Amino acid sequence: MSEEKIDEQENFSEEEYSGEEEEFHTFEEEKTGDSNLSAAEKKRKYKELKESRKKHKPNYEEISKAKKLWEIARNTKVDEKERDEAMSELVSTIKGKLGDISLKRDASRIIQTCLKQGTPEQRLLIASELKGSYVSLSMNMYSKFIVTKVLNYCPSMRNDIINEFRGQIVKLIKHKDASSVIDEIFQVYANASQKLTLIEEFFGSQFIILKKIDKSLTVEKLFENEPNKRDVIMKHMGTTLQSIVNKGSLQFALVHRVLHDFLLYATPSEAKDLIEMLKEIVLAELVHTKEGMFVALCVLAQSEAKQRKSIVKGLKQHLEKILLDEFGAIFVVGVLYLMDDTVLVSKAILLDYFHKLDDFIVNENARKIILYLLC
Q: Which tens digits make up the pLDDT trace of 219-273?
A: 999 999 999 999 999 999 999 999 999 999 999 999 999 999 999 999 999 999 9
Q: Residue 135: how many CB atoms within 10 A of its CB?
A: 18
Phi, psi of 99 (to 5 degrees): -60, -35
List of residues 6+ apart from 130 with CB closer than 8 A? 98, 99, 102, 137, 146, 150
Task: Give domain status of residue 345, yes or no.
Answer: yes
Task: Give domain status of residue 334, yes or no.
Answer: yes
pLDDT of residue 144: 98
Distance CA(262)–CA(270), nearest Å, equals: 9
Instruction: Using a cut of 0.85, tell me whether the model's pTM lies above it.
Output: no
Domain that holds residue 345: 279-375
Distance CA(86)–CA(120), nearest Å, equals: 16
Q: What separation, in Å, do the N-terminal and C-terminal C-alpha atoms of the chain show? A: 39
Task: Give domain status of residue 327, yes or no.
Answer: yes
Rg (the chain; Cα; Å) = 26
Task: Please determine, for residue 122, whether its predicted confidence score (pLDDT) is greater than 80.
Answer: yes
Confidence of residue 31 (pLDDT cuts 50, 70, 90): low
Task: Please determine, for residue 8, whether its predicted confidence score (pLDDT) is greater than 50.
Answer: no
Distance CA(343)–CA(349), nearest Å, equals: 10
Instruction: Give the sign of the dihedral formed by CA 48, CA 51, CA 55, CA 58.
Output: positive
Task: Give domain status of residue 264, yes or no.
Answer: no
Task: Give domain status of residue 312, yes or no.
Answer: yes
Phi, psi of 146 (to 5 degrees): -65, -40
Phi, psi of 177 (to 5 degrees): -100, -45
Domain count, the chain: 1
> pLDDT over 90 for what percent of the chain?
75
Task: Please determine, for residue 16, whether its predicted confidence score (pLDDT) is greater than 60.
Answer: no
Task: Give domain status of residue 301, yes or no.
Answer: yes
Distance CA(190)–CA(251), nearest Å, equals: 19
Task: Give domain status of residue 129, yes or no.
Answer: no
Confidence of residue 56 (pLDDT cuts 50, 70, 90): low
Task: Give domain status of residue 347, yes or no.
Answer: yes
